[in-house]
Structures are given as structure tokens and as C-alpha cells.
Amino acid sequence: MSLEDAKHQVDQAFTRDDLKGPSFENTFGGATSFMRRRYSKDLSGVDVAVTGVPFDQAVTNRPGTRLGPRAIREASALQAPDAPHGWGYDPFSELAIVDYGDLAFDYANVPAFPDALTNHVRTILQAGAAPVVLGGDHYVSFPILRAMHEKYGPLSLIHIDAHSDTWADDDMSRIDHGTMFYKAVKCGYIDPATSVQIGIRTHNPDNLGVPTFDARSVHERGPSDIAKAAKEIVGDRPVYLTFDIDGLDPAFAPGTGTPVWGGLSSGQAAILLRDLAGINIKGGDVVEVSPPFDTTGATAIAGAHVAVEIICLLGWNART
């Protein structure tokens, strides 16, 4: 960290001139945008737009993920001064990245929420930027995938989670964070045969043919081997990566709505994400961070790291 820069930088969320480069602002002060990127609604020349979706009205158990985007942004300040470890390059110096702020929606008009989010992401995509979304509960992936499908056609989904979220539900008007990938398959947004689920450890009698590596397989085979297998499945097809923070064991991410024991460690997740380098990723999200259930802030810290790793994946192909 540059001590001289730290003496003079403050509120980089508003004052930074360049969309590229590190921030040496004191991690404990200032306005908290994601990784001290500039807050901006101007997407001209932007490569990656980070945006929050503070929605948690589709949960089946504990709420609180509406507070996730704010907590993830605050936690990300810890990483802002340094290049991400282990990648060999700094995407925040090579990519133009902004914090696009949060989705604006009427919290009391839940039926209108999906279209609002699809339009929000559609705007990002039309500007030529890749969306990185901070949730919010996991339902938010469904309206996002609708916008992604409009641009890229059927996507391959890399889905890290304790739950498959493919429980059958043919009522498209229902907003539920456990059925959205069933609907995404039925709508043709994702191709189940070229998608993959990792870390699953709850029972679902029908995963719609999606290749699945449960949490035990990650523990026994190792995250690097699972990442290699996932890359073979998705090939060079356009990929959307969704990371439910409950894919981590509750020991590493207690602040979530539906925790399940036996999950991935944060170290396994880091290896898994880094070894996915080279996938044709078009966007991603990290969801289900619920700060009220974690007084330590560890869950939001994990969420911030996941979002950074998604950005590293997005920048990897551009530099090779």
C-alpha cells in the first residue's frame, strides 16, 4: 500500500478520475463502493459493471440478503489496494470497471421485480459491459439469465451452491429462490447438458440432467480436478457463473439464509474459481449473503472475494 497516496485519497467512489488502477484510500474510511470503483451510471467504455440487487422476498427461510450488496461493498475495501493474489495480473488496472449502483425497484410491488431486473441488466449488456451482480437472494439469477439469453442465446451455467435450485415449478409467475434454474432450463435460458453444479449437498430427485459434483466429490477429488471437469463440460460456450455463498460450509459463511453442513471451505472455493480460468464467461453473481446472521463479517468478506474472482475470470481471456 502506498502510504503517501493513503494520506491524500478519500472517497474514491466519487473522486477518482480513472476507471482503471488500484486505490490506496484507507480501508477503514471513506465512501464504500465496490473495490473503490467510481459510482457511475455512465457505461461508456466500461468493461465490467458491478451492480447490487438488494432483494430478498423470494427466500424460504431466513431473510436479510437485501443487506448483502452494502455489506459486500464494505468488505471489498480490504482488497482494494492490492492486485488479486495468484492471478499474475490485476484486472482492476487492465479493465474499466465501475460500480453501477443498485437496482431501483418498488419493494412493495414484487410481481414487477423480475422485469425491472431484466431491464437493468439489459442496459448493462447493451452498453457492451459485463455484469457482476451482488445479491440479494438467489432468485435474482433468473431475471438476469433472461437478459443474458437475449444477447448470447442458451448459456452454460456454472452453479456453486448447497442446493440445486431445480425443484419443479411450472408457474412462471412464482418468485422463489429454489426453483429458478428449473424455470431457466424450461425457458431455454441455459443448456443443462453443458452446465454444471458444484457443492450440492441437499436432495432433489430431478436435477434436469445437469452434471453435478456434490460437496463430497470436491472434498475427495479436490477443487482443481473438479474445475478441470467443469471446463471440459462447458467447453467454449458462453458461461454465466452463479455463486450462492451457502456453497461454502457454515463455518466459513454463517451469514446466509439456508446453511447446510459439509460444504466447501473458502480455500477450496478460491482454488476452484482460479482454476476455471479460460472459460468463456460473460457475467456472474454472488448471492445469499445475509449480514444479520454473521456478526463477524466473514460471509460478506467471502462474497467480496468471490466477486473479485469473477472479475478476474472476465479479464483473463481479454489478456491472452
* Radius of gyration of the chain measured on its C-alpha atoms: 18
CA distance 285 to 145: 11
Q: Was 11 annotated as part of a binding site?
A: no
Q: Was 120 annotated as part of a binding site?
A: no
Q: Was 161 annotated as part of a binding site?
A: yes
CA distance 5 to 23: 8
Q: Was 102 annotated as part of a binding site?
A: no
Q: Was 246 annotated as part of a binding site?
A: yes
Identity of the residue numbered 300: A
Q: What are phi and psi of 205, to 5 degrees?
A: -65, -15
- Angstrom distances, CA of residue 314 to CA of 98, 129, 154, 309: 14, 11, 19, 9
Give me the residue label for grid cell 471446463. Answer: 231
Identity of the residue numbered 100: Y
- Cβ proximity of 288 and 250 under 8 Å: no
Helix (H) or strand (E) holding 215: helix 215-221
3-state secondary structure of 133: strand
Binding residues for Mn(2+): 138, 161, 163, 165, 244, 246
Provide the annotated binding site. Answer: 138, 161, 163, 165, 244, 246
